[in-house]
């Protein structure tokens, strides 16, 4: 962007971490800066873009030459972290241990086989509930927190260099941010600040549109400017296919006109415009489980089956349906569906007739060799009309009949404390997230995004000449 890049905490580290891609002379090497993926707000496809980048670079340079880190995470999970064996001296090898990491770290590491990286280095700081208060109360030291991030990043780079980096190979580190550029600022770990600490170039990801999209980009750019972080480019995501060309043309004009440097330096380019693909926004049953904090009573084999809860025919939803009719009408609805139909039916726990009818229709179609892909959500919430809410338990007898269907049976789960209307609203408005076990969604997202991103331009924007020997 033509701005002055101030001296940063890890400015010297650039010469250590950047990859020697081209040996142009005995004293000059073209090196690679880390690439920091930031979004303009939540749920705009930051992880999808990260998946595409890691996928492309592992194929282009080899998985051993690619590093990945999510410096600050929020949604965590417990994993077993094996020690790395980078030398022949077994005496100094560390023991494996269970560690908490951001869920996207497990997704990226496992899906792309980045076994040369340790989980704990890929996810150095987690912000669980109560972390912000502890930080503001002085119970968490800011310098220690930033030292953990720097140490983890250096370990990522070291592991990548040892495994695959040499003077003839390119190696690269992808840093995935959390939410918009300012997320984490309250605990001194905003995305822009960390990008500056690591000497990274930022890729901004925004949802498709024009006016509101540029407004969001401008807000996030302001923080990058504040911390002296270079913006390598912009990716526009989830663009309506019929507005694809228009979106690219006019956002390019807006960025070119508004983001030029003070001395006429060119604005950062649009690195990609990705058309929307509705399937990627369809929740899987695993997402529904997460939303209601429950697990499938039966049909767990179908946990990663996806449902288009927004689909409709002539204004009538066909991906999700609340059952308010009698049993005969409900059965007619189910029997009219073909084998490919996927509908999430929602009923109240008091509708034992509907629950048993659902199980009976599953068995009837199974006997006839007809596929059955619908699911049932049983809501247990109750309101007495005076604002007092309670929970009605599913009868043990009916619960046993559901469980007897087993993991391969029809998917049935409870929504504790929810009314059918509330459950339907939560399902329709949820934002599905990637899951390390949902290989189909991860693969489809990667395949969809890669063709629309200019990786050569990204490499060109994030490399620099160094006069210091590797």
What's the CA gap between 87 and 97, in Å, rounded?
A: 20
pLDDT of residue 24: 46
- State both tokens at 47: 């992880």
| Residues in contact with 217: Cβ distance below 8 Å, sequence separation at least 6, in sequence order | 40, 204, 206, 234, 255
pLDDT of residue 13: 32
What's the CA gap between 320 and 317, in Å, rounded?
A: 6
- State both tokens at 184: 């984490």
| Lookup result for tokens 């049909």 | 299
pLDDT of residue 19: 38
- State both tokens at 358: 């659902």
| Lookup result for tokens 């000059």 | 28
What are the CA-CA distances from residue 206 to residues 75, 181, 203, 238, 420 (Å)? Answer: 22, 11, 10, 9, 34
Q: Residue-wise pLDDT tens for the chain (470 aa)?
A: 333 333 333 333 333 233 334 444 445 567 899 999 999 988 899 999 999 999 999 999 999 999 999 999 988 888 888 776 655 445 445 677 888 999 999 999 999 999 999 999 999 999 988 999 999 999 999 999 999 999 999 999 999 876 554 444 578 999 999 888 888 899 989 999 999 999 999 999 999 889 999 999 999 999 999 999 999 999 999 999 999 999 999 999 999 999 988 888 899 999 999 999 988 889 999 999 999 999 999 999 999 999 998 755 444 456 899 999 999 999 999 998 887 889 999 999 999 999 999 999 999 999 999 999 999 999 999 865 555 667 899 999 999 999 999 999 999 999 999 999 999 999 998 888 888 889 999 999 999 999 999 999 999 999 987 655 44
What's the CA gap between 449 and 470, in Å, rounded?
A: 34
pLDDT of residue 222: 93
What's the CA gap between 37 and 209, in Å, rounded?
A: 20
Domains of the chain: 13-276 (3.40.50.300), 282-431 (3.40.1390)
Q: What is the pLDDT of residues 441-469, one digit of tens each?
A: 999 999 999 999 999 999 999 998 765 54
Q: What is the pLDDT of residues 45-78, one digit of tens each?
A: 999 999 999 999 999 999 999 999 999 998 888 8
């Amino acid at each position: 962007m033509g701005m002055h890049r101030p001296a940063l905490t890890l400015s010297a580290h650039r010469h250590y971490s950047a990859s020697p891609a081209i040996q142009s002379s005995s004293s000059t090497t073209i090196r690679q800066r880390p690439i920091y993926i930031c979004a303009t707000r939540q749920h705009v496809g930051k992880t999808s873009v990260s998946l595409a980048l890691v996928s492309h670079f592992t194929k282009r340079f080899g998985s051993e030459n690619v590093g990945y880190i999510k410096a600050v995470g929020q949604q965590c999970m417990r994993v077993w972290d094996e020690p790395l064996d980078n030398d022949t001296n077994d005496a100094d090898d560390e023991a494996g241990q269970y560690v908490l990491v951001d869920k996207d770290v497990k997704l990226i590491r496992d899906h792309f086989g980045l076994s040369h990286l340790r989980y704990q280095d890929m996810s150095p700081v987690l912000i669980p509930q109560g972390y912000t208060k502890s930080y503001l109360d002085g119970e968490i030291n800011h310098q220690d927190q930033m030292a953990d991030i720097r140490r983890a990043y250096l370990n990522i780079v070291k592991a990548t260099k040892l495994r695959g980096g040499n003077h003839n190979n390119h190696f690269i580190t992808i840093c995935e941010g959390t939410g918009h550029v300012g997320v984490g600022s309250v605990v001194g770990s905003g995305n822009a600040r960390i990008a500056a600490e690591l000497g990274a170039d930022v890729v901004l990801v925004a949802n498709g549109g024009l006016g509101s999209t540029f407004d969001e980009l401008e807000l996030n750019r302001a923080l990058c400017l504040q911390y002296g972080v270079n913006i390598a480019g912009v990716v526009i995501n989830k663009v309506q296919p019929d507005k694809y060309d228009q979106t690219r043309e006019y956002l390019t004009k807006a960025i070119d006109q508004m983001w030029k440097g003070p001395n006429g330096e060119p604005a950062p380019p649009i690195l990609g415009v990705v058309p929307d693909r509705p399937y990627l926004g369809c929740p899987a049953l695993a997402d529904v489980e997460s939303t209601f904090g429950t697990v499938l009573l039966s049909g767990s084999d179908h946990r990663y089956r996806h449902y288009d809860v927004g689909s409709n025919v002539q204004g009538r939803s066909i991906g999700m349906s609340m059952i308010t009719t009698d049993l005969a009408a409900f059965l007619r609805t189910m029997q009219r569906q073909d084998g490919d139909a996927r509908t999430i039916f929602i009923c109240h726990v008091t509708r034992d007739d509907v629950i048993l009818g659902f199980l009976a229709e599953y068995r009837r179609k199974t006997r006839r060799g007809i596929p059955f892909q619908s699911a049932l959500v049983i809501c247990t919430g109750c309101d007495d009309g005076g604002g007092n809410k309670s929970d009605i338990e599913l009868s043990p007898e009916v619960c046993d009949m559901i469980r007897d269907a087993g993991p391969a049976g029809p998917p049935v789960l409870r929504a504790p404390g929810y009314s059918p209307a509330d459950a339907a609203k939560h399902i329709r408005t949820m934002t599905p997230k990637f899951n390390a076990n949902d290989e189909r969604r991860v693969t489809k997202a990667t395949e969809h995004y890669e063709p629309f991103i200019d990786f050569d331009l990204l490499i060109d924007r994030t490399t620099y000449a160094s006069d210091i020997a590797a």
